[in-house]
C-alpha cells in the first residue's frame, strides 16, 4: 500500500496493491495490520455503499462532535470526484477544500479524518461508492454544508448536478455552528 500526504493534516491518499493475472485482479483495500504499520490505528464500526447515476452530487456531509466520523472512501465501480472541506478551526487549512478523482479501476482511496465535511459527484453511471466509518451514524449530529457555498470556491466539474432536496437545504459554512 502506498501512502501520499495531501497538504491537509491527517488527510491521506492511499493506493492499495493490485495483483492481476489471466483471471482478473485482486486488491486488499483494508488490512488492520497494514494500516498499523503505516501508523494508522483505525477501528471501523460501519461500512456503507451508495450507487449513483452520472452527475449525482452527494454532500457536503459531516457529523458534529462528539459523534464526528473518520471515513475511508473509495469507488469500487465507476468514477467520482471526491471533495472534502476542512472544518477544524485550529487547522491551517480551515475552510479550504481538497478534491481527487476516485476511480474503480485505479482503486485509489482517501482517508478522511474526523473534522472534515465530505461530498462527491458521480462522473459515470452506476458509480459504486464505498466507505468505512470509525464511528456510527448519528442522525441528530448530522450537518450539511451547501455544495455550492461561494466561500468554498469548489469547482465540481459538472454543470447540472442532481442533488437531493435534503442536500439543497445545506447551510453556508459561516452559518454552521461547529
Residues with catalytic annotation?
Answer: 61, 131
Task: Give the cell for residue 146.
Answer: 451547501
Phi then psi for 32, rounded to 5 degrees?
-55, -45
SS3 content of the chain, % helix, strand, coil (to 5): 10, 45, 45
Cβ distance 91 to 115 under 8 Å? yes
Compute and round to an integer the Cα radius of gyration of the chain: 16
Strand partners, 132: 47, 72
Whats the size of the chain, residue-wise? 178
Amino acid at each position: 500500500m502506498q501512502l501520499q500526504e495531501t497538504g491537509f493534516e491527517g488527510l491521506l491518499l492511499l493506493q492499495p496493491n493490485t495483483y492481476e493475472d489471466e483471471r482478473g485482479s485482486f486488491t486488499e483495500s483494508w488490512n488492520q495490520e497494514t494500516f498499523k504499520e503505516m501508523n494508522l490505528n483505525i477501528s471501523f464500526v460501519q461500512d456503507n455503499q451508495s450507487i449513483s447515476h452520472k452527475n449525482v452530487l452527494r454532500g457536503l456531509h459531516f457529523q458534529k462532535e462528539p459523534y464526528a466520523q473518520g471515513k475511508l472512501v473509495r469507488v469500487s465501480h465507476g468514477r467520482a470526484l471526491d471533495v472534502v472541506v476542512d472544518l477544524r478551526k485550529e487547522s491551517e487549512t480551515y475552510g479550504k477544500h481538497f478534491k481527487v478523482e476516485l476511480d474503480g479501476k485505479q482503486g485509489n482511496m482517501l482517508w478522511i479524518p474526523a473534522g472534515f465535511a465530505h461530498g462527491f459527484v458521480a462522473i459515470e453511471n452506476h458509480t459504486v461508492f464505498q466507505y468505512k466509518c470509525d464511528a456510527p451514524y448519528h442522525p441528530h449530529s448530522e450537518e450539511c454544508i451547501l455544495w455550492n457555498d461561494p466561500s468554498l470556491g469548489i469547482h465540481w466539474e459538472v454543470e447540472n448536478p442532481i442533488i437531493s432536496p435534503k442536500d439543497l437545504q445545506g447551510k453556508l459554512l459561516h452559518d454552521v455552528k461547529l
